[in-house]
Amino acid sequence: MLNVKNLSFSYHKTPVLKAISFNAKQGENIAVIGESGSGKSTLLKVLYGEYDLDQGHIFWKNQEVLGPKYNLVVGYDFMKYVAQEFDLMPFISVAENIGKFLSNFYPEEKQRRTEELLEVVELTSFAKTKVKILSGGQKQRVALARALAKEPEIILLDEPFSHIDNFKKQSLRRSVFKYLKDKKITCIVATHDKEDVLGFADKMIVLHDNEILANNTPEHLYNNPKDKLIASFFGEFNELKSASFVYAHQLKVVEKSNLKAIVKRYYYKGRYYLIEANLDGKTVFFEHDKELKKGLSICLSIVK
């Protein structure tokens, strides 16, 4: 289990993380979200032992994770960290990068692990390709596979799919997160993308103003967003007098209601149209199955 107790960290005397406490069980997937500058990436670096704490403690099982004051080499064998900078070896192949730190005393096992991870990150056909000619997204996938090569007990992922094309992201997420669950590898993933969280994360930590604003399951936070930051992560939302936060899909056009609005414009979203309207001088958004003309008077109802 990862146990983070009252962690605080400052960078050049500027507070970056304040009184952070949470747990992660073996095999659990914890997503960390927040605005840019909220401390997501710094939290991963601190968990990895890259920085010394101002106060607090980090334990993995019974071992305390300590910073550079206590370790000549940053990091621990049981933990891997995949940063947004990939730090790969450009002049050797994808397969060689993945197997670089696996023992040559067991060549068959090394080959098996390399082939398995090439499949996980969907790069089997690029096994012999030199890394220097890969795209940014492909390099990101190599970095993921290399981090998993020695089967860490815990992995820290910083925006792990940010460079990957949209058409590839969905299948890759399923493949990587399934592998982590199957191997019972604890995962802490910092992300701004809800698709990295929904369907995969067991818990979601929301960072705001250097502190934990919320820590619960994605389902709970979706159904009970106590702050605009949380609601905005899940999609378009509205603040109405009659309810705290209402998502765009929860507002429906009806024949009669006390919520009377005027259509301002619409946006085509594929399976629906996002309608922007004026409600008592305030802009609201709702989903509809077809476009609505500007100036049209409508009535809305909240359907949860």
pLDDT per position in the chain (304 positions), as tens?
999 999 999 988 899 999 999 999 999 999 999 998 899 999 999 999 999 999 999 999 999 999 999 988 888 999 999 998 888 999 999 999 999 888 888 889 999 999 999 999 999 999 999 999 999 999 999 999 999 998 999 999 999 998 888 888 999 999 999 999 999 999 999 999 999 999 999 999 999 999 999 999 999 999 999 899 999 999 999 998 766 899 999 999 999 999 999 999 999 999 999 999 999 999 999 999 999 999 999 999 999 8
Q: Are residues 14 and 118 in the same domain?
A: yes
Give the CATH number, domain containing residue 277: 2.40.50.140
Q: Are residues 184 and 251 in the same domain?
A: no
Question: How many separate domains does the chain show?
Answer: 2
Spatial separation of the C-alpha atoms in residues 88 and 92, rounded to whole Å = 9
Give the CATH number, domain containing residue 123: 3.40.50.300
Three-state secondary structure readout of 113-175: HHHHHHHHCCCHHHCCCEHHHCCHHHHHHHHHHHHHCCCCCEEEEECCCCCCCHHHHHHHHHH
Q: Are residues 163 and 72 in the same domain?
A: yes
Q: Are residues 284 and 154 in the same domain?
A: no
Phi-psi region of 87 (alpha: psi -120 to 50; beta: other; left: phi over 0): left
Structural domain that includes position 265 = 235-302
Q: Are residues 290 and 151 in the same domain?
A: no
Compute CA distances 14 → 103, 178, 227, whole Å. 43, 38, 25
Q: Which of 233, 234, 228, 260 is nearest to 249 (CA)?
A: 234
Q: Are residues 147 and 266 in the same domain?
A: no
Q: Are residues 103 and 163 in the same domain?
A: yes
* Final residue of a structural domain among 202, 228, 254: 228
The answer to whether residues 82 and 158 touch, using CB atoms and an 8 Å cutoff, is: yes
What does pTM read for this prediction? 0.91
